[in-house]
Amino acid sequence: MAGADPTAAEPAEEAAPAGTPLAPMQAAGEAQVAIHTRGLTKRYGDFTAVDSLDLTVRQGEVFGLLGPNGAGKTTTILMLLGLSEPSAGTARVLGLDPARSPLEIKRRVGYLPDAVGFYAGMTGRENLRYTARLNGIPRVAAEERISALLDRVGLTDAADGRVETYSRGMKQRLGLADTLVKDPLIVVLDEPTTAIDPTGVAEVLELVRELANGGVAVLLSSHLLHQVQQVCDRVGIFVQGRLVAVGPMGELAEQLGGGPLVVEIMPAGAPTTAAETLRAVGGVTAVEPDERDPRLLLVTATRDVRADAARALAASGQPPLHLRRRGDELDEIYRRYFAAGEERAA
């Protein structure tokens, strides 16, 4: 089947009638909810791929779905798109039940799968035209939209070359444009930056942010933690079919707290002098150089001392060049939640 987006390939069936009442979980007071699941479960025989998933994604938000291979991310996406039926629980996408209104959902949701597929003998522009026709977009409007999208993903110069000549990264860019042809209300991206060069990655992430700022809900599945941290408003962490944590990165770090708070600081001046200044800050219990980089000081404290530490260093003529609370980085949060989730499952 042509096109990166399998949600675009079935134009003939009838859409849900206009004005169809929204299900209770998308009532008038929850108009901004794009995706809502409750107890969503998928079993294959004795194996549970997704276990009692409760998830809410709102319009204008970038939600990152994280987890190792086999954690349940792709299975969840397939159920949300109506491409797989749940074993139990409920889901609503734009107020619609994916199991009952899959085609209407496909018209409103853009999906970029991990394995992007196109007609290799057609040009990139021709593939996008095909997707536009499948979605009933008038020719003139489609041409304008296609040209704008090709420029947006950096493929204007290659647009009229056959896709069989494209690199994997170029196909990924074309897949992103293909996903956006129908101007969706929700965009689901599975590893959208695969095989794209660093400059292209920055452009894709900027585009994702622009979509959210324009009111589109973006569900992004990725294992590239640093990229997710750059663009996602909230993150959900999957472990063995269960969503073990949901929230902004700072909130997730707080939820797994309990140990001493450690702040990394790299002062502009001599580390030994800066260490003496930091030890005088209220709440600081220890200041030690990092074993891997002695220029970096590890400040252990009973409270968040970042603001006070920065002021103290600046006042002594040694403003910090680097300052962060250890544990706030997504890779650290992920490792801690993954370990905790495996312990609970054992």
> What are the Cα distances from residue 241, in Å, to 38, 42, 53, 316?
14, 9, 8, 51
Nearby residues of 24 by Cβ (< 8 Å), 6 or more positions away:
none
**DSSP calls for 181-194:** TT--SEEEEESTTT
Q: What is the DSSP letter of 7?
A: G
Please, is 99 exposed, middle or buried when counting C-beta atoms within 10 Å of its C-beta (0-12, 13-18, 19+)? middle
The residues pairing with 297 across neighbouring beta strands, listed in sequence order, are 265, 289
DSSP strand pairing (62-66 vs 217-221): parallel
Q: What pLDDT is attached to residue 188?
A: 95
CB atoms under 10 Å from CB of 149, counted, come to: 23
Tell me which amino acid residue 190 is: D
**CA distances for 30 relative to 26, 58, 99, 330, angstroms:** 5, 9, 21, 29
Q: Look at the chain and count its residues.
A: 346
Q: Which two tokens stand for residue 296?
A: 């970096």
CB burial string 39-71: b at 16+ within 10 A, e below: ebbbeeeeebbbbebebbbbbebbbbbbbeeeb
What residues form DSSP beta bridges with 299? 263, 287
Tell me, yes or no, if the pTM score tops 0.85: no
Phi-psi region of 239 (alpha: psi -120 to 50; beta: other; left: phi over 0): beta
| pLDDT given for residue 21 in this prediction | 36
Low-confidence ranges of the chain (pLDDT < 50): 1-2, 9-31, 258
Backbone φ and ψ for 106, nearest 5 degrees, come out as -60, -30
Write down the pLDDT at residue 26: 41
User: What is the rounded distance in angstroms from the CA atom of residue 286 to the CA atom of residue 298?
Assistant: 8
Quickly tell me which residue has 């002098």 as its tokens.
273
Cβ–Cβ under 8 Å, residues 25 and 178: no
**pLDDT per residue over 62-120, tens digit each?**
999 887 777 888 899 999 999 999 999 999 999 999 999 999 999 999 999 877 789 99
Q: What is the pLDDT of residue 250?
A: 63
Q: Write out pLDDT tens, residues 204-238.
A: 888 899 999 999 999 998 777 667 777 889 988 88
pLDDT at 14: 36
pLDDT recorded at residue 20: 37
- Rounded to whole angstroms, the Cα distance separating 281 from 318 reads 14
- Main-chain dihedrals φ then ψ at residue 238, nearest 5 degrees: -95, 135
Residue 290 vs residues 17, 102, 266, 271: alpha-carbon distances, Å: 63, 54, 10, 11
CA gap 180, 5 in Å, rounded = 10
pLDDT given at position 29: 42
pLDDT computed for residue 335 by the predictor: 67
CA distance 102 to 83: 8
